[in-house]
């Protein structure tokens, strides 16, 4: 396999990487805008880079090659954006399920109580204790083993790479 074939096959992946970088840069440049603005900027950046990579990988232009490249890039970008948006979506679904469970009506004070930081913290700690990822000794929490902390550090690094920011509370300490 020659280098042109590798570029042709890798064009959507190169575009996806460029799109992720483009999204992070767009989010850093205009942080007050909705996240969809950075998604669109990343998508456009990735599309352009995919097409440029495709152009340099072929001797003769082909509409079919461009269609396959854009279709593959679009599918990969769809998966990427859903991965990034997964947390927001899960919270929305949970809130909607809870609203449906109480007949579709809930007071804002009750919603705030359920989603307040104290309640969320208590649920997360209970879940981590139940899964034996944390231990509680005299009111203090410690990691049950090092693999949990390594995984947490890995996710922080991935979040910094993908979203341009790490764990939201790390600067508060």
Question: pLDDT 10s per residue in the chain (173 long)?
Answer: 677 788 888 899 999 999 999 998 998 898 787 878 888 999 999 999 999 998 888 777 788 888 999 999 999 999 988 887 776 677 777 766 776 676 766 666 666 666 666 777 777 778 778 877 777 888 777 777 767 667 777 877 877 777 766 555 454 44
Of the candidates 120, 121, 151, 145, the one whose C-alpha atom is nearest the C-alpha of residue 133 is: 145
pLDDT in tens, 119-132: 777 777 787 788 77
* The predicted structure's pLDDT at residue 153: 76
User: In this predicted structure, what is the pLDDT of residue 122?
Assistant: 77
How much is the pLDDT for 20? 92
Structural contact between residues 54 and 14, judged by C-beta atoms closer than 8 angstroms: no
Q: What pLDDT does 15 receive?
A: 94
Task: Tell me the β-bridge partners of 140.
Answer: 137
Instruction: For the beta carbon of residue 132, count every other beta carbon within 10 angstroms.
Output: 10
- In this prediction, residue 16 carries a pLDDT of 94
* 3-state SS, residue 35: helix
């Amino acid at each position: 396999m020659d280098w042109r074939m590798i570029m042709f096959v890798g064009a959507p992946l190169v575009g996806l990487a460029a799109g992720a970088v483009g999204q992070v840069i767009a989010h850093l440049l205009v942080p007050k805008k909705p996240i969809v603005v950075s998604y669109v900027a990343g998508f456009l950046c990735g599309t352009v880079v995919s097409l440029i990579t495709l152009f340099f990988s072929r001797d003769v232009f082909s509409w079919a090659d461009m269609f396959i490249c854009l279709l593959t890039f679009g599918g990969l970008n769809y998966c990427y954006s859903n991965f990034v948006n997964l947390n927001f979506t899960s919270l929305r679904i949970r809130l909607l399920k809870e609203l449906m469970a109480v007949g579709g009506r809930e007071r804002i004070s009750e919603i705030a109580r359920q989603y307040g930081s104290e309640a969320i913290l208590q649920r997360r700690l209970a879940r981590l204790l139940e899964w034996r990822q944390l231990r509680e000794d005299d009111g203090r929490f410690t990691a049950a083993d090092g693999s949990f902390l390594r995984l947490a550090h890995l996710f922080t690094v991935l979040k910094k790479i993908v979203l341009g920011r790490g764990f939201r509370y790390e600067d508060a300490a």
